[in-house]
């Protein structure tokens, strides 16, 4: 079971947290991140036994941290996804790394799971920047997975340890008071319950107590 972390979104992220994960989904400019933060994360991944480097693109919406749906034409969406991923890939090449996976962020993650046009635009941008060998990380069910299968792309079904999940696999909105799981024991229990149905488990770097949560999840899944 791979553990993945959405990373490079906040200046105070600690390497101690990054080291607990197999894959770092690196914010690449759409909702957060800049060349300096991307460089720092890629350099960390390039160390011996470092995590794998993945891209974490979003709607071009830094003002709202990529957490709202914006109206954008499919070709423009594909272009911005390609640009974000290509920027990160260029930095990775300077460290002899390749970007092996892509996970959409925020509202784009959810929209790509429910809207076929958006799903195809996202994948068009990903393939344009990174090629068809990349792994797409997304919701266990929905349009993004369907589109990836149609295109012959590898797909990793994702579950979340630190977010309430609905029976259909979607996340409870952050606006709900109990949307976050901050108790490490509870997060580990949710990850264990989800493990048979998914390929990777995510923890968010900005969840309060993220390091303790990540350690508990890692211990529960790997012993």
Specify the CATH number for the domain of residue 155.
3.20.20.370
Question: Which residues in the chain come in under a pLDDT of 70?
Answer: 169
**Separation of alpha carbons 120 and 144, rounded Å:** 7
Instruction: Report the predicted TM-score, pTM, of the whole model to 2 decimal places.
Output: 0.96
Total tally of structural domains belonging to the chain = 1
Q: What domain range is 8 assigned to?
A: 2-222
Distance CA 110, CA 143 (A): 10
Largest CA distance in the chain: 47
Chain segment 161-203, per-residue pLDDT in tens: 999 977 776 787 777 878 899 999 999 999 999 999 999 999 9
- pLDDT at residue number 169: 66
CA 156 from centre of chain: 11
Tokens linked to 117: 């046009």
Q: Which residue has the tokens 């079971």?
A: 1
Identify the CA nearest to 109 among candidates 150, 153, 65, 162: 65
What tokens appear for 122 in the block? 């996202």
**pLDDT reported for residue 176:** 80
């Amino acid at each position: 079971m791979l553990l993945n972390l959405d990373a490079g979104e906040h200046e105070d992220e600690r390497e101690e947290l990054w080291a607990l994960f197999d894959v770092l989904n690196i914010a690449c400019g759409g909702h957060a991140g800049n060349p300096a933060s991307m460089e720092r994360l890629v350099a960390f991944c390039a160390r011996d036994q470092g995590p794998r480097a993945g891209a974490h693109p979003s709607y071009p919406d830094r003002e709202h941290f990529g957490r709202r749906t914006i109206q954008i034409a499919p070709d423009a969406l594909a272009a911005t996804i390609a640009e974000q991923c290509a920027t990160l890939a260029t930095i990775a090449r300077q460290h002899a790394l390749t970007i092996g996976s892509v996970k959409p962020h925020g509202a784009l993650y959810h929209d790509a799971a429910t809207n076929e046009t958006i799903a195809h635009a996202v994948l068009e941008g990903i393939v344009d920047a990174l090629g068809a060998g990349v792994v797409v990380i997304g919701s266990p069910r929905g349009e993004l997975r369907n589109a990836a299968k149609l295109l012959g792309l590898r797909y990793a079904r994702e579950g979340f340890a630190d977010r309430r999940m609905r029976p259909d696999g979607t996340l409870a909105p952050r606006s709900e008071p109990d949307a976050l799981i901050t108790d490490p024991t509870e997060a580990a229990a949710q990850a264990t319950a989800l493990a048979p149905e998914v390929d990777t488990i995510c923890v968010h770097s900005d969840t309060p107590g993220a390091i303790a949560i990540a350690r508990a999840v890692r211990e529960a899944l790997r012993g």
